[in-house]
Homo-oligomer: A and B are copies of this chain.
Amino acid sequence: MEVVHVELGARRYPIYVGAGCLSELGTRLGEMGCGVRMAVVTNSTVAGHYLEPALVSLRRAGFDPATIQIPDGEEHKNLAMLSRIYDQLIEAGIERSGALVALGGGVVGDLTGFAAATYLRGVACVQVPTTLLAQVDSSIGGKTGVNHVLGKNLIGAFSQPRFVLADVETLRTLPPRELTAGLAEVIKYGVILDAPLFALLEDRIADVQALDRELLVEVVRRCCAIKASVVSADETESGLRAVLNFGHTVGHGIESITGYTRYLHGEAVAIGMVAAARVSRQLGLCGEPDVERVRSVLARCGLPTEVPAELRGEALARAMRADKKARAGAIKFVCLETIGTTRFERLSPEDIVKYL
């Protein structure tokens, strides 16, 4: 098992990455020192595969876990579901000393993290991500929250987990489309901050998709290390952390105007990364070969790389303007300089749309 640390002073925490490490959940929680009564929050799909192994590991370590199941799907990441989680935490008798374990993907992680941040003014949270996207991105860094009908993640808190436990074996039950969507974020890390990782992915993307165990641990660990270093340097996204938004400005816009149903997040980000690379080239910041390398590896994964014609123009600009990261009309847009290097440019949504 590999360990990466998120360096945040007194709130420093480890990310464990391994193949088969779910069985160590109880031991790791035991080392943390929380109350015996705690809760596992998961969804109906993940529960069928991994709830029992998680509970066995927790009980063997002396814990008395309650289980809270939520329905599967992003549409349940809202205040109403959060309210139901609070109800069940109270009914289960979870006290301030208790911990919440988020067992699942990004929706479970974001909801559970926010519930933990706000139940009894804060109880401990542990993230056990079971999707590639959650393992390399959403489980790390303490962004928690729920969606509002007027926008995603408009309600939430920065609240760090006590540890993250990423078992790559859980990816074997992930639908192939979700695995591929997660790869978009993996590729993003290479593009923005790690040229050798990008080259490794260009070389072995088929082996990653075939779930080569050793390669998966290596790739997930490297992504976690990049995310950890960015979060350590800028916990609340006041500056540097925004580099992680590469591809997300256009990606979020596309997700928004297609009602979050047509594309998975990673698919929209794949389109957004190619768009960001093209905007960068139009601004003279990077060359055509780099744009093509980004597009090519995404396409080989089977990810979409083009903004559909019917989504271009004013609707997309309006959606980007509504994003919570817009400040006074201008967007802090992450541009590509070369593979592994980016820079920020203040662009208007209209400029971005124009360059696509």
Asked whether A86 lies within 8 Å of B121 as measured between CB atoms, the reply is no
Residues of chain B contacted by A86 (CB below 8 angstroms): 148, 154-155
Residues of chain B contacted by A96 (CB below 8 angstroms): 324-325, 327
Q: Mark A297-332, 1 if CB is under 8 A from B, else 0.
A: 000000000000000000000000000111110000
Distance (whole angstroms) from the CB of A62 to the closest CB of chain B: 15
Asked whether B157 lies within 8 Å of A90 as measured between CB atoms, the reply is no
Distance (whole angstroms) from the CB of A137 to the closest CB of chain B: 16
Among A79, A121, A153, A327, the one with the most B-chain Cβ atoms within 10 Å of its Cβ is A121
Residues of chain B contacted by A30 (CB below 8 angstroms): none
CA A61 – CA B288 in complex, angstroms? 50
Distance (whole angstroms) from the CB of A81 to the closest CB of chain B: 12
- In the assembled complex, A73 has its CB within 8 A of some CB on chain B: no
- In the assembled complex, A120 has its CB within 8 A of some CB on chain B: yes
Q: Mark A46-87, 1 if CB is under 8 A from B, else 0.
A: 000000000000000000000000000000000100010011
Cβ 8 A contact of A158, one of B83, B114, B121, B324: B121
Distance (whole angstroms) from the CB of A36 to the closest CB of chain B: 9
Residues of chain B contacted by A145 (CB below 8 angstroms): 118, 121
Residue ID in chain B nearest A326 by CB atoms = B95
CA A214 – CA B86 in complex, angstroms? 45
- In the assembled complex, A156 has its CB within 8 A of some CB on chain B: yes
Residue ID in chain B nearest A159 by CB atoms = B157
CA A148 – CA B118 in complex, angstroms? 12
CA A151 – CA B96 in complex, angstroms? 14
Asked whether A120 lies within 8 Å of B157 as measured between CB atoms, the reply is no
Residues of chain B contacted by A90 (CB below 8 angstroms): 148, 150-151, 154
Distance (whole angstroms) from the CB of A121 to the closest CB of chain B: 5
- In the assembled complex, A122 has its CB within 8 A of some CB on chain B: yes
Residues of chain B contacted by A144 (CB below 8 angstroms): 121
CA A114 – CA B326 in complex, angstroms? 23
Q: Mark A89-113, 1 if CB is under 8 A from B, else 0.
A: 0100001110000000000000000
- In the assembled complex, A143 has its CB within 8 A of some CB on chain B: yes
Asked whether B327 lies within 8 Å of A121 as measured between CB atoms, the reply is no
Asked whether A155 lies within 8 Å of B122 as measured between CB atoms, the reply is no
Q: Mark A124-163, 1 if CB is under 8 A from B, else 0.
A: 0000000000000000000111001011011111100000
Name A residues whose Cβ lies closer than 8 Å to a Cβ of B.
Answer: 79, 83, 86-87, 90, 95-97, 114, 117-122, 143-145, 148, 150-151, 153-158, 236, 324-328
7 A-B contact pairs sorted by A residue (CB < 8 Å)? A79-B83, A87-B148, A90-B151, A96-B324, A97-B327, A118-B145, A118-B155
A86-B148, A86-B155 are known contacts; what are 11 more A-B pairs with Cβ within 8 Å? A79-B83, A90-B148, A90-B151, A95-B324, A95-B327, A97-B327, A118-B145, A119-B155, A121-B144, A122-B158, A122-B236
